[in-house]
Amino acid sequence: MKTYQSKSSIFVKIATASILILVTLIAIMLTTTDKSYGLIGGVILSLLIFGSVIYFYSNSLKKIVIEKDFIILQKNIGQIKILKVDIIEVSRLSYSNLTMTYGSKGFFGFIGKTMDDSISLVKDRKNMLRITTKNKRYLFSSLNSDQLVQEMKRIRNN
């Protein structure tokens, strides 16, 4: 079993910190002012905002674990298991802007679905990888992306 860490780029760290500060200020404003929305409306809106924060945090990629029969994309809460026999291709991608159909565009990473229907768990666009399986495509990032690609190719061929 080998483990590869997934760390956030500077852009993702700045975007996440900025949005968290902004969201906190909005939540405080909504719950303390009762002129426009009222206290109940402010609390409901604040809960929706914090629910979104928790969702993106929980789906943010933490590490990649390579085991004998499968690869695990370990998120902060939960995981995605990819069977070795289902993998068709593993490739390293160059830096690019990710066009998302839905998800976060820098908040805890680029998390969601892309225009080509890939599941995106990217935290650093300079170290992106793609795993293509029979049914899905996964985009994610790792600190040692070249080494990880070589390891996954070796496992896939065994």
User: Per-residue pLDDT tens for 68-118?
Assistant: 888 899 999 999 999 888 888 888 888 777 777 787 888 888 888 888 888
Can you spell out the DSSP letters for 94-140? ------EEEE-SSSSSEEEEETTS-EEEES-TTSEEEEEESS-EEEE
Match 């160059």 to its residue by tokens: 94
**Is the model's pTM score more than 0.85?**
no
User: Per-residue pLDDT tens for 5-15?
Assistant: 888 888 989 99
Count the Cβ atoms, other than its own, within 10 Å of residue 74.
16
Greatest mean pLDDT among 5-9, 28-32, 58-62: 58-62
> What is the residue extent of each domain of the chain?
1-158
Q: How far apart are CA 93 and CA 103, in angstroms?
A: 20
CATH 2.30.29.30 assigned to domain 1-158? The reply is yes
